Amino acid sequence: MLPQEANRLAGTEIAAQIQAEVAEQIKKLKLKAGLAVILVGNDPASEKYVSLKQKAAQKAGIDFHLYRFGEYAAPGEILQTVRWLNEDPDIHAILIQLPLPEHLDEDKIIAAMDYKKDVDGFHPKNIQATLSGAQKMMPGLVMGIVQLITATGEALHGKQAAIIARHEAFVKILSHALSSFGATPVNAQPGDPRVAEKTQKADIVITAVGKPGWLTGDMIKEGCILIDVGTSEVNGTIAGDAHKSCKEKAAWISPVPGGVGPMTVAMLLKNTALLARLARRLPADLSAEEAGGGGISTEAK
């Protein structure tokens, strides 16, 4: 068994470098970038991550606008705000904080966004563009996960990757990204009776279920890479999907908090700056000098 410290795959340092590059880019280009976040309800994990996004955006020089709704907000009220943000020239990026309360149709609300302002990349038009290779921007969550995996130094080519998640668009795009690196994605819903069979055979396990501790050590392969995307509130703290027993089996494991979360925030800033550049008709791809660094690539090879 590897020492526990060696198992941690923290995204904090990588995220800090990306955030610094975005801040330098905004400063050098004198770029005005506006990010609007819609938060519905009072989910503790969502509250925490929105707070982190706000602090990071403001530190990077991005104008942050939060639109908060109650747990039982009417769909029409949220859709009206989305359409208003679509028309606001000072807003370059819109993010719908997921998950939404059960009475709301996530797909309908996401589809109501102007796809050119969809910073998460989950609008139907952006999903299609990503899968066809025509998209200039990869969803921040997906690229944050890929960067954490590649940070292990292990080649992805030939590896089997089990993705356990409910969000179909997320699964499609992540599968596409992993396939571009030569990995073989295997997908399963959390309630799949064969889910343990799939995770036990996988070299890489990515769990985004939101059920604390559901993934136990006996469900994963010795020496695998485990990326924990799940976030739940347990006794006032944020917990991931992976049970502590997973540390005895995985070679690498991303902590919650401190793993995927910081990476997603960093990629959100990177994508917001990209959308602001596109709105000003600046090049989508900047040189390292123009970008203020460029030490980390977020493009799939």
Residue 290 pLDDT exceeds 70: no
242 domain residue, yes or no: yes
Residue 202 pLDDT exceeds 80: yes
Spatial contact of 104 and 110, defined as CB atoms under 8 Å apart: no
Domain coverage including residue 225: 4-9+140-260
16 domain residue, yes or no: no
Give the per-residue pLDDT at 3: 44
Average pLDDT, the chain: 90
Share of the chain above pLDDT 90, in %: 78
Interatomic CA distance for residues 280 and 156, integer angstroms: 36
Hey, what amino acid is at 299? E
Give how far Cα 148 sits from Cα of 8, 13, 55, 70, Å: 11, 11, 22, 34
- Average pLDDT (226-242) is 91
Share of the chain above pLDDT 70, in %: 92
Per-residue pLDDT tens over the stretch 44-95: 889 988 999 999 999 999 999 999 999 999 999 999 999 999 999 999 999 9
Spatial contact of 230 and 256, defined as CB atoms under 8 Å apart: yes
47 domain residue, yes or no: no
Interatomic CA distance for residues 114 and 243, integer angstroms: 39
Interatomic CA distance for residues 50 and 66, integer angstroms: 9
Give the per-residue pLDDT at 236: 83
Give the per-residue pLDDT at 298: 36
220 domain residue, yes or no: yes
Interatomic CA distance for residues 299 and 301, integer angstroms: 6
Interatomic CA distance for residues 247 and 170, integer angstroms: 26
Cis peptide before 193 (omega within 30 of 0): no
Interatomic CA distance for residues 206 and 9, integer angstroms: 13
212 domain residue, yes or no: yes
Interatomic CA distance for residues 199 and 81, integer angstroms: 40
Structure-token match 């029409």, residue found: 76
Interatomic CA distance for residues 36 and 199, integer angstroms: 37
Interatomic CA distance for residues 301 and 289, integer angstroms: 22
Per-residue pLDDT tens over the stretch 11-26: 898 999 999 999 999 9
Domain total for the chain? 1
Give the per-residue pLDDT at 7: 74
222 domain residue, yes or no: yes
300 domain residue, yes or no: no
Give the per-residue pLDDT at 284: 65
Give the per-residue pLDDT at 91: 98
Residue 99 pLDDT exceeds 60: yes
100 domain residue, yes or no: no
Residue 295 pLDDT exceeds 60: no
Give the per-residue pLDDT at 297: 37
CATH number of the domain that 247 lies in? 3.40.50.720
User: To the nearest 10°, the Cα dihedral for 102, 55, 94, 174?
Assistant: -70
